[in-house]
Amino acid sequence: MSHIEINENKCKSCYLCEGVCPKKLIKKSSTIGKSGDYIVKFEDKLGECTGCAQCAMICPDLAIENVYRE
């Protein structure tokens, strides 16, 4: 199953990844990060992630550290 890993310490809550995910699997979480805003989380209960890496490419802070494609 494809998935991503987000480094919560690097996430600055810009939400660019949320907007670019074609399956809408990245969402605002209830966890507040260093910037004082809600960081993002990856949630894929149905195994829809394709590992396209669009989220990792758009992240200005390299918070999406790993993209696994299967």
List the CATH number of the domain containing 14. 3.30.70.20
pLDDT tens-place string over residues 13-42: 999 999 999 999 999 999 999 889 999 999
Q: Residue 69 has what pLDDT?
A: 94
Dihedral angle, C-alpha 34, 40, 41, 47, nearest 10 °: -160
Band the pLDDT of 70: cuts 50, 70, 90: confident
Structural domain of residue 34, as residue ranges? 3-68
If one counts the domains in the chain, the total is 1
Judge contact between 40 and 26, C-beta under 8 A. Answer: yes
User: Quick one: residue 29, left, alpha or beta (phi over 0 = left, psi -120 to 50 = alpha)?
Assistant: beta
Q: Residue 61 has what pLDDT?
A: 94
Q: What is the pTM of this model?
A: 0.91
Q: What are phi and psi of 14, to 5 degrees?
A: -85, -20
